[in-house]
Amino acid sequence: MRHVISILVENEPGVLSRVSALFSGRGFNIESLNVAETLDPTISRMTLITAGNEQIIEQIIKQLNKLVNVVKVMDLTGSDFVDREMILVRVRAEATSRAEVLRILEIFRGRVVDVSPKSYTLEITGDEKKIQAVVELLTPFGILEIVRTGKVAIIRAKKDSSHAGKVQEPKSES
Amino acid sequence: MKKTGAEIVFESLKLEGVDTVFGLPGGAVLTLYHAMGKYSEEIRHILVRHEQGAVHAADGYARSSGKVGVCIVTSGPGGTNTVTGLATAYMDSVPLVVFTGQVPTMLIGNDAFQEADITGITRPCTKHNYLVKDVNDLALIIKQAFHLARTGRPGPILVDLPKDVIAAATDFSYPSKLKMRSYNPTYHGHPGQIKRAAKLIAGAKKPLIYAGGGVILSNASKELTALAQKLSIPVTTTLMGLGCFPGTHPLFLGMLGMHGSFQANMAVTHCDVLIAIGARFDDRVTGKIESFSPHSKKIHIDIDPTSISKNVPVDIPIVGDARNILKTLLKYLEEEAGHDWGRKHADWNNQITGWKNNTTPQDASCGPCIKPQYVIEKINEITQGDAIITTEVGQNQMWTAQAFKFTRPRTLLTSGGLGTMGYGFPAAIGAQVAFPDKTVIDIAGDGSIQMNIQELATAVQYNLPVKVAILNNRCLGMVRQWQQLFYEQKYIQSVFDVVPDFVKLAEAYGALGLRATKPEEVEPVIRKALSTPKPVLMDFLIDQNECVYPMVPAGAALTEMLLV
């Protein structure tokens, strides 16, 4: 089963390689990995997608916790969380298909970030299903290049009033 | 007052209570060695002949004394030569701090002379490592390094010191306290879990203690022995656990696993509650995992959460320090009134005695050839077990584990996890440095001893009276044994056509060399060696065909033992 693991690490050189070396050294796999600083500049957050049975996931979490630079490990799978991925995709857009590409883009609330006579470069953000759907729909036009960020994820805030507003809810999707 | 990075290293070592370091100088650490002169009264440097020897010696020093072992080596090859030693220490949880030289920070990444990315190289075989980029961080990093090395599950830490960092100066103050938000080992087991464990043990009919190196690391031998004795629970140990429970005790079953005793492997297969303490269900212990201790509920006490349910799922995991947990466990079990434990476990212990009596121990009596077990038994007898024994890896290691009766913790130093040939001799040197008045004996094979034989010069230089007993079968014995049993008796590349004359070799180094070719020469050779106050190589010519039994073939169940 796939798991979304959120890891807070000391923002120091070499930490990423410690985490990735742990995965390669112990035969765990990484489907995607995303790293960026948090509001506290001494801490970075990694969002990591991995797969494995319960025992493997338990080992992954324990092994991550064992790394000296790792501050906190959370397995988001099983809890209520929001995840998003952004893709940049260059699609062939000839005279006959330009309008159709734009229509699909609008349905998925994406944006055009670059234009050429024969292609559009599109920016689309969404959860896994949405990204999958848009890629499927764009494929017949001819995808020239695609760049994905990998997922980022955040736990939903508790819905009682004391915590409300802590998480900014993204706009609902089509 | 301002101090240079080099001075900070030694000031910090002093404050950490370090009085001995093992090392070998080179270009990148010359500044460090230059500063060492000022500290020679307080810190003794043992000059080895190869950096691998330095790490193993520091490792032997640490395992035998319980202190942190310290090494200093140069950049590049100096650092890479420590890798085997670091991996050895990492697998066996030995507290080490290894300082490596590094090219100046401005040259890092430029493929400079004797540059190696040693923090990159050693990341998977150290508990943690540091590249010090600023002399102002140095004191804190050394403080952290020692803290990490000796706390939690101990392990080796590497500190990489660029040449300009140790030359630069700054105000020195050693942090007295340390707080690391990302490192907080658990020492006290969860009381609820310990209570559940006590209940399970109290209800057991056939309990068995399976103790590992963690018992020795947490100094929990007394508590373990108390638990076993109080409840009449038989004890088996791993290779790393030997010595944590008296090998002469009636409740002791010997080692379990691939070369474990018949009774230990039978007991672990038939017990109903298995109490694993500071052990990690290694493949050499479990054999075929599906058949390992199939009828038991399992309690697992370990300070490292990753060890728990890694290979074998357990019923009651308890994370924490073995000593603390055993104390609490004993307290809870004492509250379980109304048990006559001895009677309760009499049937079980009788069943085990039956297994014990059913096996004829491997014949140590000698024919025309010397039996290796006989040599080890004689060493055991003559030293009365009062010795620090190190081993190399292979048959010599297994025969030692089987034949020597270890009665105290920290008296067997052996590379259990990594299985490093060449470990035993430098480790013996380290142990002898820690305990100058103790008898320290490396039980070696002719293959292994040649892997770090150069350290004879170190032993002679410091007049360390280390004894080496070479069980010389003119081959890589364990490899040969596997080829005999599992590879159609095709002895490919395992038999040496050339073996040095170890007596002459010893003499060339200024040590004493002795040889025994017949059984009756064994005892006089050992006695002569033990009464010689300098390093001695004893060359025992043993039967090349002798194998280690019992043996559980790789991947087989523990009950599928080859007994002869």
Domain endpoint, select from A49, A75, A101: A75
Residue from the list A13, A58, A69 with its beta carbon closest to the beta carbon of B309: A58
Query: Is A147 found in the same domain as A89?
Result: yes
Contacts by A50-57 with C-beta closer than 8 Å and gap 24+? A50/A2, A50/A3, A50/A5, A50/A23, A51/A1, A51/A2, A51/A3, A52/A1, A52/A3, A52/A28, A53/A1, A55/B309, A55/B313, A56/A28, A57/A1, A57/A3
Look at residue B444 and tell me if it is in a domain: yes
Confidence band of B364 (pLDDT split at 50, 70, 90): low
How many domains is chain A partitioned into structurally? Answer: 2
Contacts of A62 in chain B (CB under 8 A): 305-306, 308
Please tell me if residue B123 touches chain A, with a CB cutoff of 8 Å: yes
Q: Residue B45 domain-assigned?
A: yes
Q: In the predicted model, what is the mean pLDDT of chain B? A: 96
Share of chain B above pLDDT 70, in %: 99
Same domain, A6 and A47: yes
Label residue B473 exposed, middle or buried (CB < 10 Å: 0-12, 13-18, 19+).
Answer: buried
Task: Determine contact, residues B452/B425, Cβ cutoff 8 Å.
Answer: yes
Rounded alpha-carbon distances, angstroms, from residue B465 to B45, B73, B180, B444: 18, 25, 42, 16
Q: Do A30 and A49 have their domain in common?
A: yes
Nearest CA to B153 out of B211, B99, B218 is that of B218
What pLDDT does residue B534 have? 96
Q: Is residue B185 part of a domain?
A: no
Q: Please answer yes or no on whether A71 and B182 come within 8 Å at the CB atom.
A: yes
Which residue in the block uniquely carries the two structure tokens 């003559």? Answer: B382
Q: How far is B181 from chain A (nearest CA, A)?
A: 7
Q: Please state the length of chain A.
A: 174
Give the model confidence (pLDDT) of B124-179 as tens digits.
999 999 999 999 999 999 999 999 999 999 999 999 999 999 999 999 999 999 99
Determine contact, residues B89/B158, Cβ cutoff 8 Å. Answer: no
pLDDT at A171: 41
User: How many CB atoms are located within 10 Å of the residue A142 CB?
Assistant: 14
What is the Cα–Cα distance from A103 to B516, expressed in whole angstroms? 92
More confident residue, A13 or B329: B329
> B370 — phi, psi (to 5°)?
-80, 135
Q: Is B26 a residue whose pLDDT tops 60?
A: yes
Mean pLDDT of B207-227: 97
Last residue of a domain, one of B331, B358, B385: B358
User: Distance from A128 to chain B by nearest Cα, in Å?
Assistant: 31
Contacts of B121 in chain A (CB under 8 A): none
A17: contact with B, CB 8 A cutoff: yes
Confidence class for position B437, pLDDT limits 50, 70, 90: very high
Q: Does residue A167 have a pLDDT over 50?
A: no
Residues of chain A contacting B180 with CB distance shorter than 8 Å: 68
Q: Is residue B549 part of a domain?
A: no
Q: B180: distance to nearest CA of chain A, Å?
A: 9
Cis status, amide bond into B550, omega within 30 of 0: yes
Instruction: Say whether pLDDT at B312 is over 80.
Output: yes
Q: Say yes or no to pLDDT of B7 above 90.
A: yes
Tell whether B127 lies on the interface with A, counting CB pairs under 8 A. Answer: yes
Task: Using pLDDT thresholds of 50, 70 and 90, give the confidence band for residue B5.
Answer: very high
Q: Give me the CATH number covering residue B420.
A: 3.40.50.970
- Helix, strand counts (H, E) of chain A: 4, 9
Q: Please judge whether A68 and B183 are an interchain contact, meaning their C-beta atoms are less than 8 angstroms apart.
A: yes
Model confidence over A122-144: pLDDT tens digits? 999 999 999 999 999 999 999 99
CA distances from residue B564 to B170, B480, B495, B549 in whole angstroms, order as listed: 66, 16, 22, 6
| Catalytic sites of B, residue numbers | 51, 113-114, 163, 478
* Amino acid (1-letter code) at residue A153: A
For residues B141 and B13, state if they share a domain.
yes
How many CB atoms are located within 10 Å of the residue A79 CB?
10
Confidence of residue A162 (pLDDT cuts 50, 70, 90): low
What pLDDT score does A161 carry? 63
- Rounded mean pLDDT of B228-237? 96
Cα–Cα distance, B379 to B391 (Å, whole number): 13
C-alpha to C-alpha distance for B506 and B469, rounded to whole angstroms: 12
Domain boundary among A75, A94, A127: A75
Distance from the Cα of A70 to chain B's closest Cα (Å) equals 6
Rounded to whole angstroms, what are the CA distances from B516 to A109, B375, B403, B410, B412?
87, 10, 19, 29, 24
**pLDDT exceeds 80 at position B360:** no
Are B330 and B289 found together in one domain?
yes
Residue B98 lies in a domain: yes
Cβ contact, residue pair A17, B123, below 8 Å: yes
Cβ under 8 Å to B: A residues 68-97: 68-71
3-class DSSP state of B402: helix
* pLDDT at residue A33 is higher than 50: yes
| Alpha helix (H) residue ranges in chain A | 15-25, 54-66, 98-107, 128-138
Task: Give the model's confidence band at B346: pLDDT under 50 very low, under 70 low, under 90 confident, else very high.
Answer: very high
Does the beta-carbon distance from A18 to B127 stay under 8 Å?
no
Q: Is the ipTM reported for this complex over the cut 0.85? A: yes
| Per-residue pLDDT at A165 | 43
Domain that holds residue A40: 2-75
User: Both A42 and A102 in a single domain?
Assistant: no
Outline where B151-220 has alpha helix (H): 163-167, 191-202, 213-217
pLDDT attached to residue B507? 98
Select the residue from A40, A58, A68 to test the B interface by mutation, using most B Cβ atoms within 10 A. Answer: A68
CATH number reported for the structural domain that contains residue A6 in this entry: 3.30.70.260
Nearest CA in chain B to A7: B182
Residues 459-518 of B with CB under 8 A from A: none
Mean pLDDT over residues B539-551, rounded? 95
What is the structure's pLDDT at A169? 40
**Residue B563 placed within a domain:** no
List all residues of chain A from 32 to 71 with a beta carbon under 8 Å from chain B: 55, 58-59, 62-63, 65-66, 68-71
Domain count, chain B: 3
Residue B420 has which token pair?
């490093």
pLDDT tens column, B476-500 = 999 999 999 999 999 999 999 999 9
Do A61 and A107 belong together in one domain? no
Contacts of A42 in chain B (CB under 8 A): none
Closest-CA distance, A154 to chain B, in angstroms, reads: 21
pLDDT at A173 over 90: no
Of B124, B148, B305, the CB nearest to A21: B124
Chain A, 103-162: which have a CB under 8 Å from a chain B CB? Answer: none
The answer to whether residues A53 and A105 belong to one domain is no
Angle at B159 between CA B156 and CA B163, to 5 degrees: 155
% residues pLDDT > 90 (chain B): 95
The pLDDT value recorded for residue B556 is: 94
Do A53 and A93 reside in the same domain of the chain? Answer: no
User: According to the model, what pLDDT value does residue A78 have?
Assistant: 86
* Identity of the residue in A25, A68, A69 whose CB atom sits nearest the CB atom of B124: A25
Residue B225 Cα distances to B211, B245, B369, angstroms: 11, 6, 39
**B413 within domain boundaries:** yes
Residues of A in contact with B119 (CB under 8 A): 14
Pair A149, A97 in one domain: yes
Of B119, B148, B306, the CB nearest to A63: B306
Nearest to B128 among A22, A62, A68 (CB): A68
Q: Rounded to whole angstroms, how far apart are CA atoms B324 and B326? A: 6
Instruction: Tell whether B260 and B167 lie within a shared domain.
Output: no
pTM for this prediction? 0.94
* Residue of B90, B121, B140, B306 to mutate, interface with A, max A Cβ within 10 Å: B306
* Cα B90 to Cα B128: distance, rounded to the nearest angstrom: 10
Smallest Cβ–Cβ distance between B182 and the set A10, A13, A58 belongs to A10
Q: Is B50 on the interface with A (CB under 8 A)?
A: no
In chain A, residues with a C-beta closer than 8 Å to the C-beta of B309 are: 55, 58
B182: chain A residues, CB-CB within 8 Å: 9-10, 68-71
- Taking an 8 Å cut-off on Cβ atoms, the answer to whether B123 and A14 are in contact is yes
Domain holding B103, by residue range, is 2-171
Token reading at B282: 């290694």
Is residue A159 one of the residues assigned to a domain?
no
Please tell me if residue A18 touches chain B, with a CB cutoff of 8 Å.
Answer: yes
Please write the tens of the pLDDT for every residue from A60-118.
999 999 999 999 999 999 889 999 999 999 999 998 999 999 999 999 999 999 999 99
> Could you read off the pLDDT of B39-90 as tens digits, one per residue?
999 999 999 999 999 999 999 999 999 999 999 999 999 999 999 999 999 9
Candidates A11, A66, A67, A73, partner chain B, best to mutate (most B CBs within 10 A): A66
Instruction: Looking at the structure, tell me whether residues B152 and B200 fall in a common domain.
Output: no
